[in-house]
């Protein structure tokens, strides 16, 4: 278990030590979208495999080197905002570190494949509808890998609009997310 946590961090530190960090740009990237989560039967309240689509919010900070390599850290959160606790909810929180490469196809368009390591938390909350007693809350956590595919279009010198597809594989199942956001770059 310890190697699973230290390996990605060691790899990122080793990679960064090989780069010339004399110039590049920091960026901030908020995104909002939809997360489709698939939770295995052994972690659900009903004992059956569950799929749930929920809104997702993601906040990412990072650095893009002049060599086009990108390192970033992010926090994302997905929960049901529409049923107000009436049905079972599967809240997912991710803390991520990632490494990507920005392929510039023109001055205005970039595609950035990214791989990363994520520390996740799954909170299973029993809904209030058809539940006569107190609501059960169960908490699970772990560490797994993920990947993103980011497409970015330049709006101005330091502002971009981006569309991100994300695929997360968890111990409890998996999730896929589509997010729309904007990126602000600064020195």
Task: Please give the model's pTM, rounded to 2 decimal places.
Answer: 0.78
Q: Phi, psi (5° rounding) for residue 105?
A: -90, -15
Inter-residue contact 153 to 162 (CB < 8 Å) = yes
Bridge partners of 119, per DSSP, are 95, 143
Q: How far apart are CA 104 and CA 111, in angstroms?
A: 7
CATH number for the domain spanning 172: value is 2.40.160.20
**Which residue has better confidence, 131 or 86?**
131
Write out pLDDT tens, residues 88-145.
Answer: 667 889 999 999 999 999 989 999 999 999 999 888 776 555 566 666 777 888 999 9
Count of the separate structural domains present in the chain: 1
**Cα dihedral across residues 113, 170, 141, 57: positive or negative:** positive
Q: How far apart are CA 93 and CA 18, in angstroms?
A: 32
Structure tokens at 61: 């900070």
| Structural domain that includes position 152 | 2-15+24-186
Give the position of tokens 């956590």. 141
Reduced to 3 states (helix: H, G, I; strand: E, B; else coil), residue 12 is helix
């Amino acid at each position: 278990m310890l190697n699973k946590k230290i390996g990605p961090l060691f790899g990122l530190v080793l990679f960064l030590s090989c780069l010339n960090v004399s110039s590049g740009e920091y960026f901030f990237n908020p995104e909002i979208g939809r997360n489709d989560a698939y939770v295995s039967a052994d972690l659900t309240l009903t004992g059956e495999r569950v799929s749930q689509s929920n809104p997702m919010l993601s906040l990412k900070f990072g650095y893009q080197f002049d060599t086009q390599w990108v390192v970033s850290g992010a926090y994302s959160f997905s929960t049901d905002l529409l049923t107000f606790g009436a049905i079972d909810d599967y809240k997912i929180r991710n803390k991520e570190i990632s490494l990507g490469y920005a392929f510039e196809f023109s001055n205005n368009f970039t595609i950035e494949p990214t791989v990363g390591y994520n520390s996740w938390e799954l909170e299973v909350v029993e809904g209030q509808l058809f539940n006569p007693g107190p609501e059960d809350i169960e908490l699970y956590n772990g560490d797994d890998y993920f990947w993103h595919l980011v497409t970015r279009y330049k709006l101005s010198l330091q502002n971009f609009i981006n569309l991100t597809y994300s695929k997360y594989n968890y111990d409890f199942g998996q999730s896929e997310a589509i997010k729309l956001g904007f990126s602000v770059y600064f020195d």
